[in-house]
Amino acid sequence: MAGENSSQVIDSSLSEINGIGCGCAGCQSGPKTAYVDMTSGDVIDGGMDYAPSQTWTKEDFESYLSEGYWQATGRSERQWGGDTPHVTYNISNEYASNDAQGIRDAFDAWSEMANITFSEVGSGADIRILEGDGALTAYSSYSTYGGSGDIVSDTHAQASHVISVNMYIDDGGTTTRTSGPTYGQDMSEYGDYAKSTIIHEIGHSLGFGHTGNYNGSATYSSDATAYNDTGQYSIMSYFGETNYGGANFYGSEASTPMLMDIYAVQQKYGANMTTRTGDTTYGFNSNAGGAYDFNNHSWVPVIAIWDAGGTDTLDFSGYSNNQIINLNEGTFSNAGQGKGNIAIAYGATIENAVGGTGQDTIYGNEVVNSIWGGDGNDTVYGSIGSDTIDGQGGTGDVITYSYDISAFLVSLVNSVTLTLEHIAGAWTDTISNIENFIFSGVEYTFAEMQQFDSGLGDIAFSFETGTGNYVYTSTSSSDPVTLTAAGMNYNSGSGDIFAISRTDTTLTVNVANTSAKNFSMWADDGNDQISVTGTHASLSITFYGKEGDDTLTIASTVVGNDIISMQDGDDTVNASGGNDRIWGGAGEDTIYGEAGNDTVYGGADDDTIYGDNFARTGVTGNDSLSGEAGNDSIYGGDGDDWIWGGADDDVLAGDAGNDTIYGGNGVDQIWGGAGDDRLYGDNLNAGGGDGADTIYGNDGNDVISAGGGDDTVYGGNDIDYIYGGAGQDNLQGQEGADHLYGGADNDTMSGGNGNDHMDGEDGNDIIYGNAGDDIIAGGAGTDTIYGDNINRTDTIGNDTIYAGLGADTVYGGAGTDTIYGDLKNGNASDGDDILYGDAGNDVLVGNGGEDQLYGGTGNDSLWGGNDNDIFEGGAGSDVIQGGNGTDLVIYDNETSGVNVNLGSYYGIDGGGGYDTLASIENVRGSNHTDTIVGSADANTIWGQNGQDTLYGSYGSDTVYGGAGNDIIYGDIQSGTAWDGDDVLYGNAGNDILSGSGGNDTLEGGAGTDTLWGGTGADTFVFELGSVDGVWDFSTGQGDRLDLSNILDGFYTNPGSQAITDFVQITDNGFHSTVSVDQNGGGDNFVQVATLYNVTGLTDEAALESGGTLIV
């Protein structure tokens, strides 16, 4: 929405913030609407370079609405106080009755969503709704307090809340559209912009900003941060729904808070769990009323539904359009002409759906649904839960499942109805008037579904124990069946279905007829031992166990595609060849899939699953093995297996073949074995084995050993340990503080986010540190290292290292290394890096940021780049280029004195190395006897220990002598004095300081120092404990004596304290003595300086008032 006022003052006066429709040209024209033929499949691109760069989640929306907007605009978060706030409002009598009622409905719309209530009062209201001052204007204004009446910035931490809001909304002005409702005319009309406006403004009064950093006017292409910053997701957005995802309201506006508004207000105030707790119908035939009754809408309805309980229904039966109904929370449906115009709030459960007369698409959810398609050829997507689905009219209705048909037991009810019982999930769908069924992409007609009917067919047998004899009955003629106490022979004819229901604990079935195709058995309660023997090449066995610890063994000579469901108990299954489907059910089961492409589900408890029989060689199959709940052990065997550990702590082994293994939840141990495997896990210990494996750690603290082969490993979240092993591996730490070890060969490693530790080990590795403070070791080989916020890099070999973003610390290690402190994708970026070349002739490039570059041994090249850098070349003849900024070269670690001349661009280190210096402004010498000369720049020079000779040279320099008897010149270059306002510090030792030209400051420090100011108005600074000699003091040149370091804190009140009690200057006719009594007693003076060849300075007060004496 556009056109809001944006000034804010947090004080006792109301401040105008956050409204819509200020009367600008954009607002007067109404919301911008694009009309797109949604059935044509066209993509219409306006050619704009869009500003959005991400798609927001519900958490992103909530954070920005509640906090981010206020922070981005320099304000504080706000909300009404109390556990269940009650807020009063007053509506100006200037509003027409229909508009006043629309305002009341808007307050109710928010209150239905969250634990905040509103009531209308005559005066003294918390919120006042006032007539605006122009056509199509709307804005709100706040004042806030923090509990005692004081005006403060309201944040959660201060527990403050809004105490008054003025809301100005004008009801004048109408723009008539060619389609859609009128714009800004009637606040009571659903779909009208005026109704949307008042809901938006109340949203501000509840403490919500806009969904982007805009106010008053904005465009999607320039101001939207998120792609889905549109009115479809939030009524607080300025931007039309057509900007994202194919949504289109065809001119209508929202009549309720939208999907993300509901989530945000419930996070702030809590969900209102009293809203529509009964059985509610939304849409047509509605008992909800208001915006939720589609008969109340003249145009396309635009609503979001919050429902707190009951068995509820979405009824779109009144429309003939091809609609989409989605019963899942947090999704959008297409009602009538609209696209994405109906939303179901997060946390709301809607059970039932009624389609219209068009060709509708309906998605169920994971509760018990009743779905009616209506007329037209509809498509229904089934989900878990025992649903009742009726296609009703139409001759081409379709229901789609993601499961294979073998996952169900099919039972024909009548000529139009069947049931589908999901074997593993314990739910049953009842389906009527559906013509086509799709299971995992395979389509069947209703007639074709009858072949899967799980009825027993023509022959039924029952067996009873007692005296050792079996009794059976037959419902039709068949080949003879021979029964004995010891077992039975099955000699049924070709294609017949033979079934056994039995109660004895031990049964052996000998298959003697090789023409039979299907065989079914049902166990009873008890610990059954059932064996199937004989020889058969294609007999499909169906077995249903019950309670008890059952054992089913099918001989390897009886081959077929079996369906085995063991149910409760600690069961054992020894399957045979063929593509079997096996469910372990509850209990600690042991399952052998044997040969063939088997599908096995362990079920609850701690199961052991073998895709193949490990006791027999040459047995293989591409198996799908799922442990489900429990601490399972799963072994794929030979073949390309798919393994899912499911919940809890599993042990998973793919063995030979190209396996895909998912650990699921829990702390899992995964081994891929031989072959090119893909391993996924949360909290896993994984081994890839030989082959080119792909391993995904996902959540949890994982330990992953990729093994041999060229492996790819993704650590996922949390703290992972990844070992590449042999082969050219690609190791990705991703989130968390990971430890990556490349192993042998040429590896590629990326730490991702977090403070990672990476070691390339052997081979020519490429290492990316990415975000976080990383420690990187390239290891042996010629490595290339890129890092963001690297703590340390130790490498062996000729490495190239790109530290990347952040403040990095990089060690090149042995070899000739090239290190870039801040180079990423060819662009320099700021980061205060520390780079160590160590041994070898290294190249160190700092680029942006205040970097420290240490060359180490060897003839190094050091390049600082931008900002203020520090260089230490170390042993060898180094080239040091400071670049932009004020740069410092240091010689702290030299074993003897250095000779440095910045003006002549060289420095000779203590080991005889000849350094070339360019764009270096400052020098710090060694702890020995140094000679240092500055340049034309304003230099800072430190002599440190030793008897140094230091020259400031041109410019206004600062020079520190350090310990030792130093000689310091402020402005002498090649024997010539230059004007420059220098600051010279002698520090410890008996120093000689010579300012030369310019207005210099000389401070001798400890020791008996000799000071020469030279020409210019110089300042001589003294301290207790030493007596300095000044040889050219002259009041005529404006020289000054500075005793402030001594008297600071003592001589504090010149009006009542006599300067002569603190300072005494006497002369002997030739020279003057400067003495100080620090306590001001006038009787304990201590000499601090001698002014040679100076007399007549005995009027201390006059010297102070004239500025010559600084105290």
Structure confidence at residue 18 (pLDDT): 27
Higher pLDDT, 118 or 152: 118
Higher pLDDT, 463 or 454: 454
Higher pLDDT, 927 or 789: 927
Structure confidence at residue 435 (pLDDT): 95
Structure confidence at residue 503 (pLDDT): 43
Q: What is the mean pLDDT of the chain?
A: 80
Q: Does the active-site annotation cover 253?
A: no
Distance CA 852, CA 809 (A): 9
Query: Quick one: which of 221, 316, 564 has its CA closest to 423?
Result: 564
Tokens of 1001: 């400051």
| SS3 category, 183 | strand
CATH class of 1-27+53-269: alpha beta
Structure confidence at residue 922 (pLDDT): 94
Q: How confident is the model at residue 973 (pLDDT cuts 50, 70, 90)?
A: low
pLDDT, tens only, 49-80: 345 879 999 999 999 999 999 999 888 888 89
Structure confidence at residue 926 (pLDDT): 94
pLDDT, tens only, 1088-1110: 999 999 999 989 999 999 999 99
Q: How confident is the model at residue 977 (pLDDT cuts 50, 70, 90)?
A: low
CA dihedral 454, 610, 401, 304 (to 10 degrees): 130
Higher pLDDT, 366 or 804: 366
pLDDT, tens only, 92-128: 988 889 999 999 999 999 999 999 999 999 988 999 9
Residue 700 above 60 pLDDT?
yes
Percent of the chain past pLDDT 70, that is, above it, reads 79
Higher pLDDT, 871 or 680: 871
Residue 176 above 50 pLDDT?
no
Lowest mean pLDDT among 263-272, 486-495, 691-700, 890-899: 486-495
Residue 523 above 50 pLDDT?
yes
pLDDT, tens only, 583-609: 888 888 898 888 888 888 888 888 898
Q: How confident is the model at residue 696 (pLDDT cuts 50, 70, 90)?
A: confident
Whether the CB-CB separation of 1069 and 1095 falls below 8 Å is answered with yes
Instruction: Give the bridge partners for 184, in sequence order.
Output: none
Q: How confident is the model at residue 509 (pLDDT cuts 50, 70, 90)?
A: low
Structure confidence at residue 549 (pLDDT): 83
Distance CA 1030, CA 1039 (A): 11
Query: Quick one: which of 158, 253, 246, 167 has its CA closest to 206?
Result: 167
Whether the CB-CB separation of 633 and 602 falls below 8 Å is answered with no
Structure confidence at residue 688 (pLDDT): 64
Tokens of 51: 């500003």
Structure confidence at residue 972 (pLDDT): 66
Residue type, 847: N
Residue 664 above 80 pLDDT?
no
Structure confidence at residue 283 (pLDDT): 97
Higher pLDDT, 12 or 525: 525
Distance CA 238, CA 400 (A): 39
Higher pLDDT, 23 or 650: 650
Structure confidence at residue 546 (pLDDT): 72
Tokens of 798: 């000729």
- Residue 237 CA, chain-centre distance (Å), reads 23
Structure confidence at residue 145 (pLDDT): 30
CA 950-956-962 angle, 5° bins:
35
CA 178-179-181 angle, 5° bins:
110
Higher pLDDT, 169 or 100: 100
HEC per residue, 331-400: CEEECCCCECCEEECCCCCCCEEECCCCCCEEECCCCCCEEECCCCCCEEECCCCCCEEECCCCCCCEEE
Lowest mean pLDDT among 342-351, 688-697, 726-735, 852-861: 688-697
Instruction: Give the bridge partners for 739, in sequence order.
Output: 721, 757
User: Which of 145-159, 329-343, 805-819 is modeled with the greatest confidence?
Assistant: 329-343
Lowest mean pLDDT among 191-195, 470-474, 719-723: 470-474
Q: How confident is the model at residue 201 (pLDDT cuts 50, 70, 90)?
A: very high
Distance CA 697, CA 679 (A): 8
Considering the candidates 4, 77, 201, 761, report the single residue annotated as catalytic. 201
Total number of residues shown for the chain: 1111
Cα Rg of the chain, angstroms: 43
Structure confidence at residue 679 (pLDDT): 74
- Residue 660 CA, chain-centre distance (Å), reads 27
Residue 20 above 60 pLDDT?
no
pLDDT, tens only, 1002-1059: 999 999 999 999 999 999 999 999 999 999 999 999 999 999 999 999 999 888 899 9
Break the chain into its structural domains and give their ranges.
1-27+53-269, 1017-1111
Structure confidence at residue 804 (pLDDT): 67
Structure confidence at residue 24 (pLDDT): 29
Q: How, if at all, do strands 370-372 and 827-828 pair?
A: unpaired
